[in-house]
Every structure is written in structure tokens, then in C-alpha cells.
Amino acid sequence: MRLYLKYFTIQLKSAMEYKTSFILTTIGQFLVSFNGFLGILFMFQRFHEIKGFRFSEILLCFSIVLMQFSLAECFARGFDGFASLLSNGSFDRIMVRPRNVILQVLGTRIELTRLGRMVQAIFMFVYGIAKSQVSWNVPRILAVIFMILGGTAVFFGLFLIYAALCFFTLEGLEFMNVLTDGAREFGKYPISIYGNKVLLFCTFLVPYALIQYYPLLYILGKSDKSFYLVLPLIACLFLIPCFHLWKFGIRHYKSTGS
């Protein structure tokens, strides 16, 4: 952990060297995801409601997913450039150091500019809370916290899979974008609107529904099954197969030699 903090401060310092670029990029990130917000806004001016969810409730959902994603992305973007670490041989250097490998890969890149999204997420979250008339109590607040934790873990796991697959392909797989960026894009609406098959997929294969749909129902009072509250924590179990895939990948790793 101390090592990670060290990486973190180094990255922070290097980002601060180019302040204008840092700010512009953050604003850009903000704008890009702001489009998603406008899309929802326009749709709801026309339709007002979808499958029993109102605008403020959708915003709550979108903001939580966006927080989960940007937190995970901020810390796990090192995996994104992992293909180049492999192909230029820097990974060999990481392997010989007597420290945790994952930690070192994470330290190669910490993207604070992704927090532009976070800012937006917080705005929407506040608005969503103010307008959605949720009667807050301790379990519901806990549910939100669990959602953010569990969601970050799931997205982190997905980034880990992305990197682990690079061991076999040596290049990034564009298909993984559906599972990460796609989940962010389409996770703005509760998963149930995409129909039962998608919901099933997202419950049992990749546990998006556990970090979004079910706990959301509980928070909004649309369901009183209190075990929905802990589902996001169960979703954290998703990390286990991800981690094993990573381990399996490392065992298969052959240096490219360059």
C-alpha cells in the first residue's frame, strides 16, 4: 500500500507539471460523458418515464455507475496500456522486481483526468437524491456505499481480464470495450429495460445487475427484499476468476524479447 501511495504521488506530480493540459483533458472527459446526460435528458423530455423509472431515478442509477467506472478507471488504467508493456518488454523488468506484479502495473499509469467524469457523476448524484424522494435510512445508505465499492471491484476485474488476455494475444482486444465502456454507456439505464435475456447475462455471467439493478430497486423502494442490499458485495467475488485468469496468463507468459 505504501508503495502504491508512492506511485500515486509520482503520477500526481507528473500530471501537475502540465497543468493546462491536465485541466483541458479533465474538461474534455467531463464533456464527453456530459453527452450521455444530455441524451437521457432529451429522451425524458419526450417520454417522461421508462419501465416505471423516472428521470431522477435514472440519474441516480447513471451517476452511481459512472462513479464506479471512473474510480476503477482512474486506478486501473495501467491495464489499458498493458499491451504495450508486454510488446516493448517492460513487463520483464516488472517481473524481476520483488514486489507484487499487479501493483506495479497499476502504478505505471494513474489517470487523474478521469475524475472529470467523477465530478459530473457527483453533480447528477446530488440532483438525483434531491429529486427522487428516497426516504433514506441506514440500510439504503449502506446499499449506495456497497454499490460503489462492488461496482469499482467489478470494473477493476474487467480491466484485469483485459490485461490478462493480452498475455495470449499480445494486443488489446477491442471486444472487451463492450464489457467496460459499453457497460458504462448502457448502464445509465437500469439493466431490466434491455429485456430478460440481457438481465440474465448480467446477473450470472458478468455481475452488472448485482451492482446496479437489484440494489437500485432496493434503494428506490421498488422492492423490499433486503438481501438485494448485499448483492454488490457478492459481486466482488467476480474478482476471483479474474485474478485466476491473470495468474494463468502470467504462467503462460513468454517474453517478446525486445
Partner 1 sequence: MKKYLSFFRIRFTYGLTYRAAALAGIVTQFAWGALEILMFKAFYDYNRASFPMDFSALTSYIWLQQALLALYMVWFFELELFDLIVSGNVAYELCRPISLYNMWFTRNMATRLSKAVLRAFPILIVAVLLPEPYGLSLPKDTKAAFWFLISLMLAFLVVIAFCMIVYIICFYTISSLGVRLLTSAISELLTGAVIPLPFFPEKLGKVVSYLPFASMQNLPLRIYGGDILGSEIYKGILLQVFWCAALVLTGKWMLSHALHKVTVQGG
39 near partner 1, judged by CB under 8 A: yes
Return the closest-CA partner of residue 182 out of 167, 169, 198.
198
One-letter identity of residue 57: E
User: x/- contact string, 152-191, with partner 1 (CB under 8 A)?
Assistant: ---------------------xxx-xx---x---x--x--
Closer by beta carbon to partner 1, 132 or else 180: 180
Tell me if 103 sits within 8 A of 157, measured CB to CB.
Answer: no
Q: Does 88 bind partner 1 (CB under 8 A)?
A: no
Kind and range of the H or E element at 54?
Answer: strand 53-54
CA dihedral 204, 207, 208, 210 (to 10 degrees): 90
Name which of 5 and 200 has its Cβ closer to partner 1.
Answer: 200
Q: Which residues make Cβ contacts (< 8 Å) with residue 96, sequence separation at least 6?
A: none
Number of other residues whose CB lies within 10 A of the CB of residue 83: 19
Does residue number 43 form part of the binding site for partner 1 (CB under 8 A)? yes
* Cβ–Cβ < 8 Å for 192, 58: no
Distance, CA of 27 to CA of 32 (rounded, Å): 9
- Does residue 3 interact with partner 1 by CB under 8 A? no
Q: CA–CA separation, 67 vs 48, rounded Å? A: 24
Rounded to a whole number of angstroms, the minimum distance from the CB of residue 196 to partner 1 is: 11
Q: Which of 38, 98, 254, 258 binds partner 1 (CB under 8 A)?
A: 38
Stretch 195-234: interaction string toward partner 1, x if CB under 8 A: x--x------------------------------------
Interacting positions 227-256 with partner 1 (CB under 8 A): none
The stretch near partner 1 (CB under 8 A) out of 23-31, 81-89, 205-213, 219-227 is 23-31
Say whether residue 51 binds partner 1 (CB under 8 A): yes
- Would you give the DSSP letter of residue 148? H
Residue with Cβ nearer partner 1 (3 or 41): 41
Candidates 36, 81, 139, 249: give the one binding partner 1 (CB under 8 A): 36
